[in-house]
A and B are shown apart, each in its own frame.
Chain A
Amino acid sequence: MPAPWQEILKKIDDYRWEIPQGYKEGMAVPGLIFTSEAMLSHIWEEHVFQQVANVAFLPGIVDYSLAMPDIHWGYGFPIGGVAATRVRDGVISPGGVGFDINCGVRLLRTNLTEAEVRPKIEGLVADLFVNIPSGLGSKGKIRVSEKELDKVLVKGSHWAVEKGYGEAEDIVVTEETGCMKGANPDKVSSKAKKRGIPQLGTLGSGNHFLEIEVVDEIYDQEAATVMGIGNTGQVLVLIHTGSRGFGHQVCSDYVALLGAAVRKYGINLPDRQLACAPVQSSEGQDYLAAMACAANYAWANRQCIIHWVRDSCTKIFGRSQRELGLEQVYDVAHNIAKIEEHTVDGKKLTLCVHRKGATRAFPPGHPDIPDTYRGIGQPVLIPGDMGRCSYVALGTELAMKESFGSTCHGAGRLQSRAAARRSLRGADVARTLAERGITVKAGSMSSLAEEASEAYKDVNEVVDVTHKAGISRKVIRAVPIGVIKG
């Protein structure tokens, strides 16, 4: 019997599968999924073809409704979806960014080796767990007034550095230099601000984490050296978090507001969570201004967290930040919409690129890449699940041509949280990780079971697809030795 997807998908090559425009009436463009035949079986079970097709309804969408190999069932947009709409006459959709606006990843390098860190890993993880507020309902250590919060929303990472959290050099190697332009706090509800004030400088819960990891494979030594990664065995620190309750509220507010805009502008959508408004409309512009505030909140958040990571490291190892070489490699946003220039069918277009669980992957020479990396391309940080590994990759020319300069963002879920909890116990997960030499500290045991390796696709397979498809290329792989979960 043929697999069900064989009746729907048109194979373009081993890593590209098209959903023809005729699959669903109302699609303005076809869908395109970057995946392998082996990974397709998971995709079918999740009905995500429908979601990729639904995104193709968005007015002004160009080329394809795209999906990365870590795609899974979301709400409205699939997770792992990329959609570019014309700024001139297309729409912007808050659902295409998601609730956790500018959820992203930041990578810190060190001069330390595994041999130096192993004996102190328990103490380091324990100190980080105390130093960085994490878990459900946790409050940050930073106290800001509503007026001060407005500055965070406009300045992002720059606010944090001005307040002494981190270094000016960190900003240079942050997407958008950690400060998205066009942020207007007046477009953000007071509810969002009330949620945001106590949570600034917190890791959060769910799939957010902080990981101490060791480089175990180097695929491109030259590029790795540019990033300050010299050898296998070198220790890195990875942070995965976003805009917390602030971003969630901005998204909720604007999905409701743009629901009204859908009626006002007579837009036909197959799913209410795709609510959108013309980019040029006042509703669309207001969302962009509010979204930029949430993006900046997230950059300030990761900037504060990296400061405490440095703080814990200098304390535990008794050496200065400089001696430890605690420099930021890069910071990426993987839930965001950006106005970018792209060439489609030979024509230069200004597009609103929605990346919902996808990472920007700009090629060498792109003006938006910091000087340090201009020669090699933009670093792409791809966290896996807490038991396997993470990757650093680079953006490519082909990504620019085929995926609006985008690639995957992580492993992608395979199992639901409930299924993971049914089949695994948090205590067993912790023990299995300990047996494999990974020290874990988690806010709750159930979150540990939900985030177990078994609940995720194998990030190795995901990254292999994007590498072989050519939309990003592998530089290094790292395996965890210490993890903090919210």
Chain B
Amino acid sequence: MVKDFETIDHTADIGIIAYGADISQAFANAARALFSLITELDNVEEILHRDIELTAPDEESLLVEWLNQLIYLFDTENIIFKRFDITRLSNTRLKARSYGEKVDSSKHMLKTGVKAATYHMLQVDKGDGCRVQVLFDI
């Protein structure tokens, strides 16, 4: 089975590469990769959801904005998301519903704080199967 995502070693920070049969799936897997850096997703339940709608000048910026919006929701509402239903994705627009739950310190052990998604080493490849790459500031 092809893996959904993997992490890349970087001296100070952490990068991720996410795969998908289509670009929506790769974006969803990138978001899963983000939250798997923060905590073990096996212990997270789908109790609530948040809708996100974004526009950006291009697909790469859209990926950064998408991940930064999720980091924002984690930081302000303490929500860990584990499933992402991307209902619309063009080069400049994204619409998605993300499912997860609020941090509960009795069952979620938080691992790494993620400050932001960066534009460094940013890639969106739509070849045979999609692949996206992002570096997070940790």
Instruction: State in angstroms the CA–CA spacing of A275 and B120 once bound together.
Output: 11
- What are 12 A-B interface contacts by the 8 Å CB criterion? A75-B13, A137-B103, A199-B75, A252-B68, A256-B61, A259-B119, A413-B12, A414-B11, A416-B12, A417-B14, A447-B111, A447-B112
Within 8 A of B (CB), among A40-98: 46, 72-76, 79, 98
Residue of B12, B38, B56, B118 near A273 (CB, 8 A) is B118
Residues A75 and B120 in contact in the complex (CB < 8 Å), given A248-B115, A256-B61, A446-B112: yes
Mark out the residues of chain B between 3 and 40 whose CB falls within 8 Å of any chain A CB in the assembled complex. Answer: 7, 9-14, 38
Contact with A along B106-135 (1 / 0, CB 8 A): 000111110111111110000000000001
The minimal Cβ–Cβ distance linking B66 to chain A, given in whole angstroms, is 12
Specify which chain B residues have a CB less than 8 angstroms from the CB of A414 in the assembled complex. 11
Partner of B115, one of A99, A256, A443, A447: A99
Pick the residue among B112, B117, B118 that contacts A76 (CB under 8 A).
B118
Cβ-based interface call for A320 (8 A): no
- Say if the beta carbon of B48 comes within 8 Å of chain A: no
Which residues of chain A come closer than 8 Å to B7, judged between CB atoms?
A: 418
A446-B122 contact in complex given A75-B13, A79-B12, A416-B10, C-beta closer than 8 Å:
no
The bracket for how many chain B residues form the interface is 35 or more
Given the known A-B contacts A191-B72, A195-B72, are A252 and B116 also in contact in the complex, defined by CB atoms under 8 Å? yes
CA distance A260 to B92 in the complex (A): 14
B interface: dominant SS: loop
A416, B119: Cα distance in complex, Å: 19
Q: How far is the CA of A275 from the CA of B71 in the complex (A)?
A: 21
Chain A interfacial positions (CB closer than 8 Å to B): 46, 72-76, 79, 98-100, 135-137, 191, 194-195, 198-199, 204-206, 245, 248-249, 251-252, 255-256, 259-260, 271-273, 275, 413-419, 443-444, 446-447, 450, 486
B101 within 8 Å of A by Cβ? no
Chain B residues contacting A73 (CB-CB under 8 Å) are 10-12
A75–B137 contact, CB under 8 A?
yes
- The answer to whether A137 and B137 touch across the interface, beta carbons within 8 angstroms, is no
CA distance A135 to B39 in the complex (A): 14
Say whether B115 contacts A100, CB under 8 Å. Answer: yes
A74 and B12 form a contact (CB under 8 A): yes
Q: Are A418 and B12 in contact (CB-based, < 8 A)?
A: no
| Distance in Å: Cβ of B53 to nearest Cβ of chain A | 15
Closest to B109 in A: A444
